[in-house]
Amino acid sequence: MSLDRNLSAPRGLTAFVFAGGGSLGAIEVGMLRELLDRGVSPGCVIGASAGAINAAYFAGRPDGEGVAMLELLWRRIRRRDIMPLTMLGLLEMMLSRRSHLVEATALRMLLETNLSFTQVEHAAIPLHIVATDMHSGNEVILSSGPLVDAVLASAAIPGVFPPVRIGGLDLVDGGVANNTPISVAVALGATRVIVLPAGFACALHKPPGNPVAQAMHALTIVIARQLVRDLEFYSSRAEIFVVPPLCPLDVSPYDYTQCDSLIERAAEKTHAWLNDGGLEHAFIPGELREHTHAAPGAVPR
Q: Give the three-class secondary structure for 49.
A: coil
Strands (E), 81-208: 127-133, 139-142, 164-166, 169-172, 192-196
Q: What is the pLDDT along the chain (301 residues), one digit of tens a residue?
A: 555 534 544 457 999 999 989 999 999 999 999 999 999 999 999 999 999 999 999 999 999 999 999 999 999 999 888 877 655 555 555 566 667 778 889 999 999 999 999 999 999 999 999 999 999 999 999 999 999 999 999 999 888 889 999 999 999 998 888 778 999 999 999 999 999 999 999 998 888 878 788 888 888 888 888 889 999 999 999 999 999 999 999 999 999 999 999 999 999 999 999 999 999 999 999 999 988 887 554 433 3
Q: Do 157 and 172 touch, CB atoms closer than 8 A? A: yes
Per-residue b or e along 76-94, where b marks 16 or more CB atoms closer than 10 Å to that residue's CB: ebebeebbebeeebeeeee
Measure the CA angle with vertex 128, ends 135 and 47; round to 5°. Answer: 80
Q: Among candidates 183, 174, 117, which has minimal Cα distance to 144?
A: 117
Residues 191 and 11: their CA atoms lie apart, in Å, by 7
Q: What's the pTM? A: 0.90
Write out the H or E segment, with its range, that includes residue 15: strand 14-18
Under DSSP, the state recorded for 99 is S
Residue 249 CA: distances (Å) to CA of 146, 207, 210:
35, 13, 19
